[in-house]
Amino acid sequence: MDQDNFEQDRKKKKSGNGKLIIILAVVLVLAAGGGVGFYMHSNKQAEVAAEKEKTADPEKTQEQYDKLKEEVSADVDPNDPMYRKIDFAAAQGTNPDVYAWIWIPGTNVDYPILQSATEPDEYYLNHTIERKEGLPGTIYTEKYNKTDFNDPVNIVYGHDMKNGSMFADLHKYEDQEFFNNNPYIYIYLPDRTLKYRVFAAIAFDDRYLMGNYNFYEPSYFQKYLDELRSSIDGHVNMDVNVTFETGILTLSTCIADSPNQRWLVNATRED
């Protein structure tokens, strides 16, 4: 290659390298701009979510629940709690997703249970019975469970609210005396009432239970039962007979100072 051709080739390469540097610089600028845009978009989403949370007021929502209870439910006769009358048609007038009612003597837990057939399973974690977004949400179940409470394991969720509403009073079962003296949970359905006896109130890890156990398999049911009974962080009554046929009702709520754990109150059906 002669000197002239060498110089021309060198200049072309230099020019090409310069263009490449310019292109890379433009790409970096655009990427940075995109990152800023994404950051701003994410912040905007967070702001919108925060604003939406303000649409529900926990205190006013509790007042609405109390009013609903007065309108649709007769007072519980402590001597005959199995035959409490719930006007489900009236409750469903407020929200058609109401399908059951839960009452735990000795606590403030006296609420409708909801399940949405169309919204994501976690919808009622952050939506009130009037479908307002925000706390305290509702007491609810996921579509993994049928609404007749005939599944081997039925899991009911609710928030641990600071004002003592929703499932906050489940933490009363941390006290041994309360655990011993308040063993029953009642689930009211349109056609019958179910009575459950508490056998374990424990702190559990925050794994997604429905995703970690196939509760329709007796071996997985037994594995879950064994884990509940073997817990040392809570109270367990080994004298309560729990079988695949009597099933397990698990009430799940948060533990304020332990975000990686859940407080579970577990009961089995009594005929």
The answer, yes or no, to whether residue 180 has pLDDT greater than 80, is yes
Would you name the residues annotated as active-site residues?
A: 159, 254
Full-prediction pTM beyond 0.75? yes
Mean pLDDT computed over every residue of the chain: 84
What class has domain 58-270?
Answer: mainly beta
pLDDT band of residue 92 (cuts 50, 70, 90) is very high
For 80-91, what is each residue's pLDDT tens digit? 889 898 999 999
Model pLDDT, residue 56: 63
**Mean pLDDT value across residues 42-69:** 62
Model pLDDT, residue 146: 97
* DSSP letters spanning the chain: --HHHHHHHHHHHHHHHHHHHHHHHHHHHHHHHHHHHHHHHHHHHHHHHHHHHTT--HHHHHHHHHHHHHHHBPPP-TT-GGG--B-HHHHHHH-TTEEEEEE-TTSS-EEEEE--SSS-TTGGGSB-TT--BSTT--EE--TTS-TTS-SSEEEEE--B-TTS-BTGGGGGGGSHHHHHH--EEEEE-SS-EEEEEEEEEEEEE---HHHH--TTSHHHHHHHHHHHHT-SSEEE-TTS---TTT-EEEEEEE-TT-TTEEEEEEEEEE-
Give me the residue spans of the domains in the chain.
1-53, 58-270
The answer, yes or no, to whether residue 267 has pLDDT greater than 50, is yes
For 197-214, what is each residue's pLDDT tens digit? 999 999 999 999 999 999
For 23-43, what is each residue's pLDDT tens digit? 444 444 444 444 434 333 334
pLDDT band of residue 52 (cuts 50, 70, 90) is very low
For 231-250, what is each residue's pLDDT tens digit? 999 999 999 999 999 999 99
